Structures are given as structure tokens and as C-alpha cells.
A and B are shown apart, each in its own frame.
Chain A
Amino acid sequence: MSAWQAWFVARARRRFAMSRECAQLLPRVCAALADPRQPGSDDTCLEKLLDWLRDLTELEPTLNVVRDNPCLTEFFTSVLALPEPSPSILSFTLRLAGLLAASEDCFQHLQQENLLFRLFGSGGTLNRAVWEDASVRSGWVEGVHSMMHHQPALRFLCNGGGIDVIFTLQGDPSLFVASAASQLLVHMLTLSVESETTTPLSEKDCNWPACAQMIIKHIEDSLQSGCASHINQSLKLLTSLFGSCRATWTEVLWLRIAKQVESFLIEDSVQTRHMLANLLLNMSRSPVFCDTEGSFWALVTSALEHLTPVQAGPLAVGILSLHKCPQDVRIQAMTVLLQPMDCILRAASQPLEYAGLLDESVSDPSTVESLLSSKSSCASLLCQTLAHLEKLLSLIHLPVDLPYTSLLRSFVTILQFCSGLLIPATPLGSKISQILIGCGRVQKSALDALAALSERKGCDTVIGSLFDILLVYLESPNTSPTVLKKSFQAMSKWLARLPEMSCFNSQWPTEKILQDVFLVLQKRLCSPCWEVRDSSLEFLTSLIKSMRDQDEFRESLLSSEVPKLTENLLEDPESYVRASAVTAVGHLTFITYSLPESAVAGNQYNKEDTTAKLQDILSTDPESFPRRAVISIFTKWLKQGCTGQAEDTEQFVSRAIQTVERDLDWEVRIGGLELVEVFCVQALCRVGLPKCPYAPASSTVTSSIQQNESLQIFCRAKLFKFLFWSLCDYDKPVGQKACDILLVLRASLSPSSMLKDCQGAGDLSAGRGIPWLQRTLRQGSLAQNFPTDAGNGVDFEDPESMMLALGTIDLEELHDELNKSSDHVEKSPQSLLEDILATVGTIDENEADCY
């Protein structure tokens, strides 16, 4: 065990171990829980109690826990003796018993008293009326699942008839119980095969252990039953098994049932085909099957052919995401996803005008065509296919090459259909057109897919019509706000790709398209709908982020009305819009900041003006979103060096933090601390102190001078007042952040060495202050507000006092204190037990009250 593991275990022991107090409380708790006269206890408490006992069994041998606390077995006996136990208590009992029986010796111990049989066996809970309650059945399944870690438990279940109960529970009306039962069978099958077989199983030599044999027979019987619900249960079980177990024996099992499963694909009557996609997908991910050649992949191919396009879609995406897969299966999977797109392209154009995406000999498009021409299925098939394609296109390492150009053409065509612009050339096209016009769902999916496609290279040829249709969407008054937002996102992604498109510059002047975009943006920024104004500003920000280095972009933007309108929106009545306007204006500054003086002088791009406006929002805006945006933009400006010379920056930061230190929103205050952090790092770097990784090593003498210099900057900028105030912040994250920054400052400024030089100075200048500060921080620190009277004697702008403070205050202890969770006192097991007693064990007092 490594040192940290040992430390971890020791800490866990400290935290969870059974203390003397707990040992005294537990019997009372057990007695109270088993007392039928007590009111029902809180389920959350029971969960916590179970969690604690689980932790306990992980730290100590379970048998010891049970022997040391006989109240636990007594609790089981008492609950069993109750004529009508409450469902929640019985469920808790079953889960606890299962938990304890997970250890083999404890299992034997409990069995000696016949407790497990009475709880889980046929003579016990199963025959009680309370079994009707789903929570009891769920507790039973969970209990059995917990104990299922050894052969005796397996045998107990299989020989005692318990396994039949689990088979029945697979079809339980409660979906939780049914699902848990299925998981339990998977677990039992795996345990049985892996613990009870000595020689590896093979198709020829296949001696399944008894329990596994029972489960497999059940699976086979269900599959052959012809009953859809039974078949579904078994297919679910198999799906889960092949998804979790990658052992070679799973193939042996598969060979027994493969024929039967295969038949489901061909028989139309069986209502279980939709389950097959998941099953085959899980199998294809298992090395046991994906490495085999032949039958399995043939089955997958057949599934891709026989399942409906809607059922086969998820399977096709899964297959195409696999790195190991035969090429012909991939082609088949691709056909499933591309066929609807192919039909769209064919429906939209004259037969010979465009060849389509797929060779017609590969697949028969009639099914997809009929789905697309029906009002009820067209939109959902397209949405689903587009979502699958988007998922694939978003994968960083896509193992297959998709026909990107044709895909782009098909997405554009769908968008044209939806906007009613496309004049279809075929009857199918007319039908599709009629269904899709104005269909927001399909528009959104197509725009998402389009945005994802922008990451791929090689679609340059269709780019003209792409920008045309996106502009139509941005321009059209009929575009809904959500579709507009997605259109903006797609447009921004594709615009970012403009420079690298070779064909574009020659055929389509970038300048023209940017002008069009800014023209429409101008209009959208004036929209009466705030969502539209907001997404327009977000779009502008994202454009600036990705294109600000390009001359054409900068010129088009600055020559449009957009910057002026954006600045107007700083006064928007909607706070979200103001926040987005702040971010956009902040990003605009990155462009205007680098403009030559002549371009800036006297016009709208005056940085001082912008800063003053943002500073004004920071101090006066009644909503927190715009203020958060301002402080975050200030930090970005600082990071990117847009705040001017060092002196200007110092003043800028100082002004900002003096505004935010009084802010009521903790996120704004955190934002202020982030600004301080960046400022500190930059200041330390500038003077060459070690916080900066690239700073050259300096001699001790120069280092001391540099330290002093930075310290003075920080004091002048009133950083320390803000940082120490923040330590006492009501909101813990603020305190934590401030503490982190102070720790960094202490490390960089090394006050210990400096303190030597100014020994005694602290006592003289701030003797009353520092201990007071320390005391305040230690005692009431995090509970009471920091007094603001000036007479407290702490001079936060005095470098020596601050150095003294940094050196004297135990920041590590503060850090630990701040990082403790707020409920660390209440979270102890003792507190939990007391809580339970307080809510449940009040009966004596009540009785006394009766007199």
C-alpha cells in the first residue's frame, strides 16, 4: 500500500469507524427502527445509515462488525417477527442483510440463525402481503445483488428457488425492479461462470455450472417462447451481459442462441426487433465478437438491412464510430445514414442533374422514400438521421470518410426545403416540400449538423449556396429565435473557415459576404425580441474571437453600423442582453485597441469611453449578469494586455476592485479576485519574480528589490484590503480564492526573509493590527463581517504591515478551514444516529406526555 493509500485509509477509518458513542447509539437505533409503534422513519436517513454501514464493512471484517454489534442480528429477528412490517423498514432490512451477507463468513453466520432463509427464501418475505409493495421487491433484489459475491450465496439462491423469483421479477410492473432483476441475473451468470468453472468453456466442451445453466436455459426458453415481453426481457439481459462482460465464454453462450436471435430479424411479426440494435451494438464493442470473422458481422449487416431506418440508425452510428470493423459492414451502416440524405437530394433535383449520394444498386430507397413522403414520419426520420450525422461529424477521430461535399449539399437542400425556397423537380420533392416548409425541428437539426460539418475539410464547392441559405435564414422574419440562434452558430463556424477555403476567395469575395452578414446583424441587433438581440451579440462575439486577426473582417466590421449598435445595447432593458453587449463590446476593444491613433481619434472607438461605460455598469447595474460580464471582460483585457501602460493598468485594476469589493453578487467578487490574480502574476513576472515560469533566475539582492517593488504596486492598487476582506467573505468560494492568491503572494514575496529585515517594525507600526486581524480571521473570521471602521489600526496600503500580515497569519490553517465542507460537523455517523433517534425514537416522551 502506498503512502497516500495508507493515509486515505487512515482518514477514512477516522471518519467512518465505529466510535464508542456510535456503538452505544446503534442498538437503540435498531430497536427504534424495529418498533412497529414508531412513526415511519425518513428514507434518506435509512439510506445514509446503510451507506455508513457499507463503509464500515469495507474497513473492518464484516463478521467482526456483526459480532461486535449483536443488535444488528437482533434487528433482523425483530423485523421478521413483526406481523406487518412497514415496507420501507423491510426493504432496508433486506438491503442491510444482503450487504452483510456479502462476506462469506458473515453469510454463514447469518445462515446459522436461518435469518437469510427467512428474509430471502421462499418461506419469508415472498409470501407476505407487503411483497406487493415495489420498494420491498426492490430491496429484495438489491439485497440479493449485494450478497452475490460467493458460491454459497449462489447456491442458496439457486437451490432455494430464489432464482425463479428473479426470473419473474424481470417482468415486474415497476421498471426499477425489472431492470435491477435483469442486472442481477447478469451478475449471477458472470459470477457463476467465473467462480464455478475450472476449465475454460468452449463450444464443444461446454459444461456450464448449475446456476449458469439455469439462467441460460431461462434465456433460451424465453427467446423461443414467442412471447414478445419474454423475448424482450432476455434480449435486454443479453444486451447488458455483452455490454459488461468481455470474457470469451460469452461467445460460447452467443453461439447457442445466435440462430434464434437471427430469426427475429427476418420474422416480421416479432415486436422485438428494435431491441436488436442495442444488443448488436454492445456486442460489436466487445473484443470477443469484433475480432471474429464471418457470422457476427454478417448478422450486423443483415440487421442494418432489415431493421427500419429509424431502428437501424443508432446501430449504424455505433458501427461507424468503431475503429475495428469490416469495410462492408461500414458501407452498410453508412448506407443507413446516407440514404435519407440521398433521397432528399434526388427528390430535389432532376433525375440526371445530380447523381446522389449512393449508388442505387447498393440499396433500395423505397422504404426511406415512403417514410419521407409521409407527414407523420418525414420530420422525425430526418431529425434522427441529422442528429446521428452530427454525432459522427463531431467525433474528433472519425474512423470513416464521409462524402462531405454531398452531405453539405443535402443539408443545404433540407434547409432550402424548410424555407420554401426550393422548387422541387420530382413528385416526392413536392411532397417533402409540403411537409417540411416551416418545420422548425428539422431546421434546427439541419443547422446543428451543418455546424458540425464545418470542422471537416473538402466541402468547398457547395459553399456559395451554403452562405446563401444561411443568409436567408438570418434575414427571414419568419425564422424563430431558436432557429436563428442555430443559424448564427452555423454561420459563425463556417465564416471562421473562410480564409482557408481556396475556392472561395476567387469565386465569392469574402468582403461581400461579410458585408451581407453585418447588414443582417445590424437589423437583428434592433430586434424587439430580446432573445434575438442576445444571440446576435453572442454571434458577434464569436465572430470576433475567431476572425479578429483578419484585415477584411476588421474593415467590414468597423465600416458597418454594428459597433455603434452594439454599444447602444449596453443600455438594453434586458439584463442578459446588457451582459452579452458587455462581452461583445469588450471583444470589439481587442480590434479597436490595435487601431492606429489616427483611426481612433475622435470617433466612436474611444477606449477610455468604453472603459468608463463598462466601469459604470460594474458599479451601477442592478442585475448581476452584466456586472459579471464586465469583470470577466476586464480580466480578459488584462490578460491580453489591452489595459495600457503599467501605471494605467494599476489604476484600472485598482478602480475595478474597489468597485467589486462591495458587490452583492459573489460571482462578481470572485471575478474581481481573478482579475487580481492575473494582475499579480503579471506584476510578479514583470519584476522577474518566481511566479513567472519564464523569468530569469535573479540574485538574492535584486530579488529583494523586486519583491519590494511588487509589494508596493500591490499596496498602491489596494489589493491587500480586497484580499483580506475577501477572506472573511460570507461566500466560501470567495474566501478560498482570496486565500489561494494570498498563498501565492506569500510564496513569491517570501515575507519570512523580509521579516528578518524589518523585525520589530510590525510591532511598532501595526502591533495592534496584525494580531487583531489574525484573531478576527481565526475566531469569527468566516462567521462575521469584517469591520470597516478605519480605526482598526490595519493599514492595508502599508507594505511593511502587509508583509508582516503575510508572514504572520497562518494561511495554511485558514485554507484548510475554508476547504472543509459546511456540513462537516453534521455529517458524522454519530450525528446521523442521533438524528434517527430524534425522529424515530420519540415514543417514550410521547407516552409521558399522555399523562
Chain B
Amino acid sequence: MKLYCLSGHPTLPCNVLKFKSTTIMLDCGLDMTSTLNFLPLPLVQSPRLSKLPGWVLKDGSTFLDKELKECSGHVFVDSVPEFCLPETELLDLSTVDVILISNYHCMMALPYITEYTGFTGTVYATEPTVQIGRLLMEELVNSIERVPKAQSASMWKNKEVQRLLPAPLKDAVEVSMWRKCYTMPEVNAALSKIQLVGYSQKIELFGAVQVTPLSSGYALGSSNWIIQSHYEKVSYVSGSSLLTTHPQPMDQASLKNSDVLILTGLTQIPTANPDGMVGEFCSNLAMTVRNGGNVLVPCYPSGVIYDLLECLYQYIDSAGLSNVPFYFISPVANSSLEFSQIFAEWLCHNKQTKVYLPEPPFPHAELIQTNKLKHYPSIHGDFSNDFKQPCVVFTGHPSLRFGDVVHFMELWGKSSLNTVIFTEPDFSYLDALAPYQPLAMKCVYCPIDTRLNFIQVSKLLKEVQPLHVVCPEQYTQPPPTQSHRTDLMIDCQPPPMSYRRAEVLTLPYKRRYEKIEIMPELADSLVPLEIKPGISLATVSAVLHTKDNKHVLQLPPKPPQPPASKKRKRVSEDVPECKPLKPLLSGSIPVEQFVQTLEKHGFSDVKVEDTAKGHIVLLQEAETLIQIEEDSTHIICDNDEPLRVKLRDLVLKFLQKF
């Protein structure tokens, strides 16, 4: 059992599990933090960005000044943003049989895998995961494609050149692997390979293993996966939450008795309690709006935004914000808000029951009805007519490098009345803001990450008790900036096995058993012999037939008939030759009775010695030694075959044959 670790990002995992002749890819997350090294893509020509000076090397060389721009002491690549793909060299990805997706954030690299590697397998995911994943991809492609960039920078990626660059560009890993965004046809092709599954649905893979998605409580349709054979169980836990938000609660019980538990996707902000952060979000939002400022919330078009809107729905009246417009701008805003209302079966119990009332499960429907929340595909068109300030704008992308958010950053950045509130934990807000410096607007960091924290993990592991835990190396040590926080790491016994990008782990679990079926005719022919009360044994002589990872014992072929004619046997009819079977023995030899028997048979000088493992019976005259142990009996005599046979027969009298 091996695990190939293709991604080093703990919350955007991409691992491949080789288990019983199957090759299963677990998630294919796309690390987008690489985009932070690029200049933002403004929707409207930005004089500020276009006037940024080119970067000049210390020695005055200017050959990179077209590719790299400097802004407030930071250097950015002036090109279309690129993403850091999972490792593609560690193993041949065309051999991957299936890809299991756990949530819509963890499938963003899917087109790169399915369309570029010769992948011919199937992808399994739940319906909301696919639909919302599609929205995320669509938004991503749209945001990048609608701002075409004439030039593409590649010179800086040269290893020799990269060495000369300032941090963080200098330290960026695997830049040669960075790729531009995929296209919509590629997205469609990738998504067409997905097969939809439901929670607890059992999917057979080549008869070798069975995979089952379980609710993970993190997002609409998010799942953990159980990968099991008859005797082994591997649990894959990725992006789970125990908090009561909108999705169905996490199914913990089914994770019990796992041999190996692969644990990824824990909270990225373990010190921030989501409830407190939501409070912080609301307070800062209200304070800004009351002072006449605008609030910008860079976010994904799905996920936490549903909870934020629900929270604001309850809060705006109490905070006197009823007249403040809320705008949600995304090419997929409409679909996202509508999709959320139709996936009732994937929602938490409370929201499910609303559907039967009938009421929309999420209160943002009411916000839209009452015109408090308005959504637009982009800042162009209707939005510019309706736009009123002060207001609250939810828009993407949280990296602040592309999407409508770039426009608002440029528009509102100069006033200290405005506030940008970061709620998505995927990007460092300081890095995200770097190309907008100097910035007058207030910045508030309220990362809301509902995924498991270390206390919850510790309880979960106690509850489900896996034999082995495998996790990214980041979880086995305190965060680098808080080395004293030993509470912020996984604490379990035995200690977890950790992995890092491009590593291959041999999982510590050895397979010991395989299930074999016996054909009814063969079973009929068996005559079990009770050797202990409740335990019966029978010898089986059969042919093991293996096909599609299923093993069947069949009746042995009949002994070859003497050839009726002198025709030569055809080679194709050659069947395995059955040797006559020796009977198996069982039972123990009672030494005293054995000695008496020996004496009856004329051995007068029998002497018994006790040894650590059994007894030695000594026949002095015959110079013979009978060593009786729990699982073996040896007769040692000097070339006296008749004596040995005689003694052997005496021994056999005490044993049962079958």
C-alpha cells in the first residue's frame, strides 16, 4: 500500500493511493497562491498599475523590466497569473484508475489531470460538488479570459534568472511547472468524466476495493471517502467540519475501525474560532457602513458566503443597516444563489425541513426578494446603474489578482472610510494586498474556516481509533510563526506518519488476508471433523481461480482417465496434476500414555525429560530420541528405518488424521 503525495498544500491535497492493484487519486487541489506573485488583472485600465516601474537588477540590468514590475518594495510578474500544478512526474498519471473528489475546492486542478496526462479513468464526486465546482472553474476562467494580456512572461522562470530575483519570487517552487489557466472546453471535458455519487453509495472498483463517500459537514456535497476491501479499510478525511453550518453534518461513525486514516484539509487558521470571526466580520462591517464607508468582501462565489449572508440577514436590522445595499458580483452569482436552494438533500436537517414548509432553505432568497441583496454577473451593465454607496460588495477573487474585486480595490483603496474584510483563509491577506500598497482603506482579517481544528481532530481520532494516521507534515509540528503552540499539531498514538510534496510513503499496513469463495459443489464435498468443541476442520483440495480480483475455489479436475485411445493429449486440455494428498494431523500426544504404549511394545528403558517446549522421550537401548513439541514431533534414530516406522506408527495412534 503506497501513497504518492503530489501536492504540498495541506488543504488542497492531491494524493495517489495504490491499494490492491488499484490506483486511486484522492482529490486534485490546485494551489493558487502562486498567483500572488503576479500583478492584478484590472477590468478597467488602471493608470496606477500601468505606470509601475520595471524591476531593475542590482547591477542595473533591465532585461526583466518588461516582465517584472515593482510596487511598494515588492516585485510582481506582469503576466497572466499562473497556477502551481500537482506533481506530474512522480508517477504515470495515465495509470490512475479513479479520482475521488471530496469537495469543490479540491477539484480545481481536475482539467490539468484529465486533459493533459492521458487519464482514462473515472472521476467520482457528489452532484453539488460537481455543480459548484463547475461554477468556481467557470468564474476562474471567465475572470482571466476577459482580461487578455498581450504578453506572457517566461524569462524570469529561468533557473539562473530566478536565483537573482528578490523573495518571494526567488523561493517560489517548481516555477517551471506553473501553468496558465485552463479553458472552458477543457473544463467541460474534465467534468464529463465525472460520475455522480450519493452519500453512503458503495462503488466497486474492479472487484478489488469498494469506495464510499460520507458526508464531511464542510460544504454542500463535501465528502470523506472510505476505501475498503474485505479485510482492509482506508479512510480519507479531507475538509471536514463539526460545526453546525448549512451542510449535512459529518458522518463520523463510519470512519471507525480504519487501518489507515489519511487526514488532510484541517482548518488553516486554528487560532480563530469561526463564530468569533463572524462576529468580528459583522462588527467591522457595521462600523464602516455607519461611518459612511463601503465594505469589500473578496470571496468565492459559494461556501462561507451562504453563512455570511444568513448571518447578515439576522444582523442588518438590529444594526440599523436595512437601507444599505448588498451586492454580490460574480459571473456565477445567480447560479450559485439558486443552486444553494435546490440541493435540499445535501443540507443540514434544519434547512431540509424548511423545504417541506415550503420555504427556501437559505434566507438569502428573502434578501433578494426585498432588494437588500442584489447580484450581478459583473460590474458592467446593470450594476453600474444600480450602484449606490455606502454599500457592501461580495466579489471574487480572494487572491485580489483577478475578478471584479480588482476594480473595487482600485476604486475604494484610497479612502480610509472603506474597509476590505478578508473572510477566505486561502491567501495571506498581506500578500494579497501587496500590489495595492500604499493603501488608505482599512483592512480587516476575519478568516472563517469551519474545517476541523486540532482539538476536534484529537476528539475525532479518539472516537474512531484508526490504527495509523497519515497527514501532511505541516500538521505534525506547531505553526512556524508560533512554535510554542504545541497544541496546534496532531497529537495521537502512534504518532502520525507525515508526507510532503513529491514523497512516496509506504503505508505501514501489511495486507494479511484475502477473501476466497468456495463453489457449492466443492463445499458439499467437504467433511469437517470436530477437533475441539465448536471447531471443525476439513482439508480442501481445489483449484484457485482468480479473475477480476475475485478468488474462487473450484473442484479439482477429475484424475486423468487412462487414455481411451492412443491419441496424443491436446496441450490445451492440460490441467494441473493432482498429487495424492497426505493426510493432515492434529491433536496432542499425552506423554504418560505414550510411554505406557512404548513399554507395551517392548521398549523397557524409556526415560522422559521435560524441555522448555515439550518433552524428550529417550529410548536408551535403541539409542533413539523422540522429541515431542507443541507443533512438531521428531524421531531421531540411527538409520534404523523399521524402528522409525514403528515408532512413527505409535505416535500417529495418538493423532487424528483428516
Contacts and interface: CB of A to CB of B under 8 A. Distances in A.
A and B together in one complex:
yes
Interface of A: 420, 422-424, 430, 433-434, 437-438, 476-479, 522-524, 526-530, 532, 561, 564-565, 568, 571-574
Contacts of A522: 287
Contact of B278 (A433, A479, A528, A571): A528
Given A523-B284, A573-B318, 5 more contacts: A420-B485, A477-B276, A477-B279, A528-B283, A528-B318
Given A430-B484, A437-B485, A573-B318, A524 B283 contact: yes
A574 B283 CA distance: 16
A526 B278 CA distance: 12
A526 B286 CA distance: 6
Interface string B109-141: 000000000000000000000000000000000
Interface string B279-290: 110111011001
B433 interface: no
A528 B485 contact: no
Nearest to A476: B276
A526 B283 CA distance: 5
A523 B287 contact: yes
A526 B276 CA distance: 13
Interface in B280-318: 280, 282-284, 286-287, 290-291, 311, 314-315, 317-318
Nearest to A577: B318
B487 interface: yes
A115 to B, nearest CB: 66
B485 A565 contact: no
A477 B272 CA distance: 8
B446 A477 contact: yes
Contacts of A479: 276
24 contacts: A420-B482, A420-B487, A430-B486, A433-B487, A437-B485, A437-B487, A476-B276, A477-B272, A477-B273, A478-B273, A523-B283, A523-B287, A524-B283, A526-B286, A526-B287, A526-B290, A527-B282, A527-B283, A528-B278, A528-B279, A528-B282, A528-B315, A561-B290, A561-B291
Contacts of B283: 523-524, 526-528
Interface of B: 271-273, 276-280, 282-284, 286-287, 290-291, 311, 314-315, 317-320, 446, 455, 482, 484-487
Given A523-B287, A574-B318, A433 B486 contact: yes
A433 B486 CA distance: 8
A609 B455 CA distance: 51
A565 B455 CA distance: 37
B320 A568 contact: yes
A430 B485 CA distance: 8
Contacts of B319: 526, 528
B279 A573 contact: no
Nearest to B485: A420
Given A476-B276, A526-B282, A527-B283, A565 B290 contact: yes
B277 A477 contact: yes
A428 to B, nearest CB: 13
Contacts of B320: 568, 571
A422 B483 CA distance: 11
A477 B280 contact: yes
Given A528-B283, A528-B318, A573-B317, A434 B276 contact: no
B314 A528 contact: yes
A455 to B, nearest CB: 31
Contacts of B291: 561
A478 B278 contact: no
A424 B487 CA distance: 13
A532 B284 CA distance: 14
Contacts of A572: 318
A530 B283 CA distance: 12
B454 to A, nearest CB: 10
A517 to B, nearest CB: 16
A477 B284 CA distance: 12
A433 B484 CA distance: 9
Given A420-B271, A477-B272, A477-B273, A527 B485 contact: no
A216 B104 CA distance: 79
B279 A532 contact: yes
A382 to B, nearest CB: 17
A476 B273 CA distance: 10
A485 to B, nearest CB: 14
Interface centre among B271, B287, B484, by most chain A C-beta atoms within 10 angstroms, is: B484
Interface centre among A422, A437, A532, by most chain B C-beta atoms within 10 angstroms, is: A437
Contacts of B315: 528
Nearest to A475: B280
A561 B485 CA distance: 36
A528 B311 contact: yes
B311 to A, nearest CB: 7
A711 B248 CA distance: 72
Interface centre among B278, B283, B311, by most chain A C-beta atoms within 10 angstroms, is: B283
A478 B290 contact: no
Nearest to B283: A526
Nearest to A481: B279
B278 to A, nearest CB: 7
Contacts of B280: 477, 523
10 closest cross-chain pairs (CB), A and B: A477-B276, A526-B286, A526-B283, A477-B280, A528-B282, A423-B484, A573-B318, A528-B315, A523-B283, A478-B273
Contacts of B276: 476-479
Contacts of A437: 485, 487
B399 to A, nearest CB: 23
A828 B279 CA distance: 59
A434 B280 CA distance: 26
A568 B318 CA distance: 10
A843 B339 CA distance: 73
Given A477-B276, A527-B279, A434 B314 contact: no
A574 B455 CA distance: 34
A530 B314 CA distance: 12
A738 to B, nearest CB: 38
Contacts of A476: 276
B318 to A, nearest CB: 5
Contacts of A565: 290
Nearest to B289: A526
A204 B246 CA distance: 81
A561 B287 contact: yes
A95 B195 CA distance: 82
Contacts of B277: 477
A414 B653 CA distance: 78
Contacts of A561: 287, 290-291
A479 B277 CA distance: 10
A633 to B, nearest CB: 22
A440 B150 CA distance: 57
Contacts of B272: 477-478
Contacts of A524: 283
Contacts of A438: 455
A575 to B, nearest CB: 12
Contacts of B484: 422-424, 430, 433
Contacts of A568: 290, 320
A48 B546 CA distance: 89
A358 to B, nearest CB: 26
Nearest to A423: B484
Nearest to A533: B318
A179 to B, nearest CB: 41
Contacts of A526: 282-284, 286-287, 290, 319
A573 B316 CA distance: 11
Nearest to B482: A420
Nearest to A525: B283
Nearest to A420: B485
Interface centre among A477, A564, A568, by most chain B C-beta atoms within 10 angstroms, is: A477
Interface centre among A437, A526, A532, A572, by most chain B C-beta atoms within 10 angstroms, is: A526
